[in-house]
Structure 1
């Protein structure tokens, strides 16, 4: 957000820049989402059902692995650099080291395991090479490109952060259009080369753009290792949770329902970008304000919540109204697509509400609490989604979504208020020179000091 604090006339003067910043951030994510959707549609039409299903499956594995790559070091960079830009060289080196180590290990593991499950080419050597290329592209290079966006966010340079998001999405769409529409590529083997080349060019452009911010100091910031780990774990578990319903649904329903549901899920993820645009703006400022205790950021957090709810409702309503257009993009074979999108689109509202609390926990350094909320929620959510999908597909799948997200709202905000109250009592104890009250001393210590 353009301002770290809103108060009095200064808050009124800062309102327009804040709106403009959100419009730019939200616009960039919407353009990015539209470009991704177009890329998705082009590949779906030209690769064919079999090839496209293989590509989606391997990409799903990469989407889980990319959260492991770097072990949450990007969040540490945004939080620490937003508070003190002098630490940027150390945090950049910290990120590069962890990304290189974990990225290499993940690619090697994938090259060993995935050829037993996916056959992209009848030639074993080519099959391994294509899988390796897809993993390098969708894990390592995606992580590098996203890191550059986060670096700009940490420096409150939202304009260039938006350029990275839009440029990356548009570059992939151009690559897919050239590959399929111009050169008539219809195999995942050929597409993997085009995709790799696209990501290399974007990554080189991103790193050229951030060079002026300073050179890295190659060392591990040891105190951030556990916090980064706490941050990455819930993201990994949530990625696993997002695939539980897809896996079970593929076993108990028709291919049409499975395909339509997959697209509806993609639309839900795109809808969340309207809220993510807000969260990505306020995160650096929230990190500054909450450095002395989460209670100091509560006025800001309430303001974010009051903005996130109407934004999510407006987004859901827009998707609901525009849903009938989707079959023209993906094809008339997606018979259930419109109804599925209209059922799922409202999930973005509870998702927006709990995301505000979770982002506040992360920005304040309470990564243990954040990991507990999202990690336990993802594990329980995966079990609920799988069971509901198995016994009552696809209605049970939709019901499980609302149950899981609503429960997460209660847990996330309950945890947030618990930590705020604890921090208030600790601050009062320090100011009074007294001993911490017993009720606070024995309270569960989620926060990582």
Structure 2
């Protein structure tokens, strides 16, 4: 019966394929993370403190905008296609239209506003052109490449998704090495050209690989627009939160502290990829299992929670032990880097714990409550991080991280358990109501 939901196989034989898939998915993200870190290190060394600071600032703005590009349509594609492959042409067309429209708007707005705050090249026209080039690269092209990865995930083709992740990361590392080491690029303006070419080549490769899955049917799936926005808004607010502390620190501390903190944050994001590998692997399956109610996925989510906690702790320990070698990568000018990384690395544990609950809500289609929890957490986190960074930098910044992530654990799991209980009660009330109507 539909009300019983979809059951999933259990036991060692059923677990082995998932472990192998996670090993491949996790391995691809680890390779990707290492490549991204090397890219970051190359740019930090060759661009210098000032140029690297400008690059980080513009990239931070793009990181916020990229979550708005597409209006959250990618999640709709993964969720819907995982349940029914027949809707792929419609969901692909839906994604293309929303990504193209919103991407163009974001690039134009950014090209108008950002040149007033950042000078990347001499001359107004050239400066605007360089800013626009960076926005096209880091918003539109990044979104296209990530969309390709998500399409493969929706089709449970994790091997191809892993190739996209690893290939993209390696391509950026090669581009940075060629530009900076081989050709002596030392400005953001010059790097913007190399970065654009790299992203265009990767995007074309992804589009070529997607042709075998079918052509899009261009239409807007109206009922998925609110769901997509509910999914995207929390990530936008979270990106705002993640940059509030950087902005305040840049006003009240030295360039070295800001740069070291930026690298420490990048290390935290890299360590979370091991958890993200698990979440992206189980998302399609969770979408299928929870189609008839979130309570059907409850035991599955608990198993994912246990795995995510172990993985998060292992990632934190690994980063802590590897922190002393970072100055060899980034340079001795980053004197605060090791201490910052060792302090911040443990945040990945509560982050892993609450992300499991949020991913489960998303897979089951509960995007409104998911957006509420993540949105409120991000707004509160942004305010707390900004105030703490202003009042007691940088110790206050680190403390605010732990306070908000632990609070997110309580909020996320409280909401998740509420909807599990509600779906279970609704399922139990269904047969009783049917029997009552039959007796009448």
Tell me the TM-score normalized by structure 1: 0.94
Displacement of 1:65 in angstroms is 0.4
Instruction: Say how many residue pairs are matched.
Output: 431
Tell me what 1:31 maps to: 31
Query: Contact between 2:233 and 2:375, CA under 8 Å: does it hold in 1?
Result: yes
In the alignment, structure 2 segments of 5+ residues that lack a partner are: 1-5, 436-440
Superposed displacement of residue 434, structure 1: 6.7
Query: What is the CA distance between 1:254 and its match in structure 2?
Result: 2.0
Report the secondary structure of 1:222's partner residue.
coil
Q: State the distance in 2 between where 1:434 and 1:355 align.
A: 37
Instruction: Give 1:260 shift.
Output: 1.2
Q: Distance in 2 between matches of 1:182 and 1:268?
A: 30
In 2, distance between residues paired with 1:421 and 1:47?
A: 54
What's the counterpart of residue 280 of structure 1?
280
Tell me how far 1:6 sits from its aligned partner. 5.0
CA separation in 1, counterparts of 2:242 and 2:205? 32
Instruction: Give, in angstroms, the shift of residue 414 of structure 1.
Output: 0.2
| Partner-residue secondary structure (3-state), 1:278 | helix
Deviates more, 1:46-55 or 1:172-181: 46-55
Asked whether 1:73 is paired with 2:73, we answer yes
**Structure 1 segments of 4+ aligned residues over 6 angstroms from their partners:** none
Contact 1:133-1:193 at 8 Å conserved across structures: yes
Greater shift after overlay, 387-396 or 401-410?
387-396
Matched, 1:416 2:399: no
User: For residues 312-335 of structure 1, what are the alpha-carbon distances to aligned partners after superposition, in whole Å with 9 as ceiling and x for unaligned?
Assistant: 111111111111000100111111
Cα displacement (A) at 1:365: 0.2
Give the equivalent residue in structure 1 for 2:238. Answer: 238
Residue 89 of structure 2 corresponds to 89
Q: Which residue of 2 aligns with 1:177?
A: 177
Corresponding position of 1:248: 248
Whole-angstrom distance in 1 between the partners of 2:260 and 2:190? 27
C-alpha deviation, 1:167, in angstroms? 0.1
Hey, what's the Cα distance between the residues in 2 that align with 1:51 and 1:394?
Answer: 23
Q: How does 1:202-213 map to 2 (within 5 A)?
A: 202-213=202-213
1:41 aligns with 41
Contact 2:8/2:289 (<8 A) preserved:
no
Deviation, 1:230, is 0.4
Question: Does the 8 Å CA contact 2:53/2:259 hold for their aligned counterparts?
Answer: no
- The normalised TM-score by structure 2 is 0.96
Deviation readout 1:90-132 (Å, 9 max, x if unpaired)? 0000000000000000011011111111111111111111111
Range 115-124 or range 350-359, more displaced = 115-124
Q: 1:140 to 1:296 in 2, by over 3 A?
A: same
- Where does 1:19-418 land on structure 2 (aligned, <5 Å)? 19-418=19-418
Which secondary structure state, in structure 1, belongs to the residue aligned with residue 365 of structure 2?
Answer: coil
> What is aligned with 1:16?
16
Structure-2 separation of matches of 1:128 and 1:392: 37
Q: Which runs of 5+ in 1 are unaligned?
A: 436-449
| Residue 438 of structure 2: aligned partner | none
Contact between 1:180 and 1:186, CA under 8 Å: does it hold in 2?
Answer: yes
Query: Cα offset for 1:11?
Result: 2.3
Structure 1 counterpart of 2:428: 428
Per-residue displacement from partner, 1:238-286 (whole Å, max 9, x unpaired)? Answer: 0000011111112222222222111111100101001000000000000
RMSD: 1.3
